[in-house]
Amino acid sequence: MFTYSMKIFLATLLSLFLINSVIADTSELELIWELDGFKNPESVVHDPRLNLLFVSNVNGGPNDKDNNGYISIVSINGNLLNKKWVEGLDAPKGLAVYGSTLYVADIDQLVAIDIDHGRIINRYKVDDAKFLNDVDSSDNGDIYVSDMVLNRIHRLSGDDFQIWIESEELDNPNGLHFTEDDIIVGCWGKMTDGFATEIAGHLKRISINTKNISSIGDGSPVGNLDGVEGSDETGFYATDWLSGGLFHIDVKGNATKLLEFNQGSADHELIEKKNLLLIPQMVENKLFAYKIVK
């Protein structure tokens, strides 16, 4: 039977353990490089075939059709190899690589770029789109694109580009990430005036087979979420654009803030084989690379 002093000792030990756990959580990421010279970088994606990074540059307002957006190429070590590799875009945001094609969300169209030749090969227009945002690909090559304003996710299958799901339950979907059977959605939260929200968003899960939408966890607000990466096994990394920062969210919805940023933490990339996280900062015009220290 524990004495009073032993209980105090154990409680103190537990407190120290919890404090150290928090410190360990916040020190799991080690900054290895940062790169500036971008113009409102919104998304970064890794091409595993070429081991290069593509970065979308909005270069202006997020809904401005000004034809001055572009894609940059960055080495995995943080060197800017080609600042304006592909131009002729408006406000390019989410990126996805499938094979030798780079897919780009650009306001009201999905743009396909031939990576080997650095040229636009197709534009898939959505006449009533408001804010195409993130892009991800499934294993079979289908491409999924979120429309954050209209609570939609579109799917490109072959040359057929259609609304795949539309629901208010999506809570203004931003980031998309495929797991084996589901799409994980980084929800911004229901918008009230422009991009403002009364209640911030959290992660949701959509079944590919049934299109059932469910919250990850109890639905407690986390932030105005942008990018989402990770897995059910290791949890998910999500950025908060409005408040700034990076969260780790486990499969029960428990969120831990790992990094503090200024406003503009956008659509990041996780390269699991390299334990590398790449985070674009739209407002600061920088790209940050963090090593996940295990």
- Say how many domains are in the chain: 1
Report residue 268's pLDDT band, with 50, 70 and 90 as the boundaries.
very high
Task: Give percent above pLDDT 70 in the chain.
Answer: 91
Question: Facing residues of 102 across strands?
Answer: 97, 113
**Quick one: pLDDT at residue 193?**
84
Q: Would the pTM count as exceeding 0.85?
A: yes
Q: Residue 253 maps to which CATH number?
A: 2.120.10.30
284 to 38, 41, 42, 287: CA distances (angstroms)? 9, 9, 11, 9
DSSP label of 289: E
* Lowest-confidence segment of 106-115, 126-135, 187-196, 207-216 by average pLDDT: 187-196
Structural domain span for residue 149:
30-292
Asked, for residue 79, whether it belongs to a domain, the answer is yes
Q: How far apart are CA 74 and CA 54, in angstroms?
A: 6
- Within a domain: 56: yes
In this structure, which long-range contacts are made by residues 159-165, counting pairs with CB atoms below 8 Å and at least 24 apart in sequence? 159/124, 161/110, 161/124, 161/126, 164/211, 165/206, 165/211, 165/213
pLDDT, tens digit (0-9, with 9 covering 90-100), for 142-182: 999 999 999 999 999 999 999 999 999 999 999 999 998 99
DSSP state of 249: E
Q: What is the mean pLDDT of residues 126-145?
A: 97
Residues 68-84 have a mean pLDDT of 99
pLDDT at residue 21 above 80? Answer: no
Per-residue pLDDT tens over the stretch 193-208: 889 999 999 999 999 9
Contact (CB, 8 A) for 176 and 136: yes
Average pLDDT over residues 39-56: 99
Give me the half-sphere count of Cα atoms (radius 13 Å) on the Cβ side of residue 49. 9
The verdict on residue 3 lying in a domain is no
How many H helices and E strands in the chain?
Answer: 1, 26
